[in-house]
Chain A
Amino acid sequence: EIVLTQSPGTLSLSPGERATLSCRASQSLSSSYLAWYQQKPGQAPRLLIYGASSRATGIPDRFSGSGSGTDFTLTISRLEPEDFAVYYCQQYGRTFGQGTKVEIK
């Protein structure tokens, strides 16, 4: 079973700053079968990125995904107040990473 490890566990940043979140897979993922989700307290997760780098419908272009094989990155170019949340990566159909919390510094 492929394990996804996200880092850091918590990212403390200020609005307007750039956030870089990492997701590392224990084995290479086929065809960039990786997605990113955002979850706010009390809400269901929301799809942000699929296919490692494609933005889902309605997702602002400050969110971008990159990577292939075993190393993937979610970048938020300039943090807006509504972006402070927990972010999860997922191998398609299966395992999730443990999450990265982006909190206000």
Chain B
Amino acid sequence: QLQLQESGPGLVKPSETLSLTCTVSGGSISSISYYWGWIRQPPGKGLEWIGSINYSGSTYNNPSLKSPITISVDTSKNQFSLKLGSVTAADTAVYYCARHASGFYREIEYWGQGTLVTVSS
């Protein structure tokens, strides 16, 4: 059974960079078919797709997000990562890592449990 686990600081200061890693177990991130993504949910609000990446580093990012986004993959560690720059309080959210079904334009089949990141000084 595929499992995804987010890790990273729970508190980030305004204007700094938010960095999270997703560790994949029970399957290989190097599979050609899949895209791996980040979704966030501010407290009490809805879901917002941030961006997605495949094993070769091909990415799709949400053009609506104001903060600079970097998503990268490390196949040797079976991990992928998110960096969100110049964060503000509006970036406070539960961040989920996830896997699309085969291809980018597909539903999200698997989700991590989520990790709360608070942006505050």
Q: Which residues of A contact B (CB under 8 A)?
A: 1, 33, 35, 37, 39, 44-47, 50-51, 56, 88, 90, 92-99
Contacts and interface: CB of A to CB of B under 8 A. Distances in A.
A93 B47 contact: no
A39 B35 CA distance: 22
Contact residues on B (Cβ < 8 Å of other chain), bracket: 20 to 34
Given A50-B101, A93-B100, A44 B107 contact: no
Interface of B: 35, 37, 46-49, 52, 60, 62-64, 96, 100-101, 104-109, 111-114
Contacts of B108: 35, 37, 45, 47, 90
Q: Is the interface of A mostly helix, strand, loop or mixed?
A: loop
Interface centre among A44, A45, A51, A56 (most CB of B within 10 A): A44
B100 to A, nearest CB: 6
Contact of A1 (B47, B63, B104): B63
B107 A99 contact: no
Contact of A93 (B63, B106, B111, B112): B106
A47 B107 contact: yes
A44 B112 contact: yes
Contacts of B105: 33, 92-93
Nearest to A39: B47
A90 B96 contact: no
A29 to B, nearest CB: 10
Contacts of A97: 46
Contacts of A33: 105
A94 B107 contact: no
A50 B114 contact: no
Contact of A95 (B37, B49, B52, B113): B49
5 contacts: A47-B109, A88-B46, A93-B105, A96-B48, A98-B46
Given A1-B63, A44-B113, A93 B96 contact: no
Contacts of B52: 93
Contacts of B46: 88, 96-99
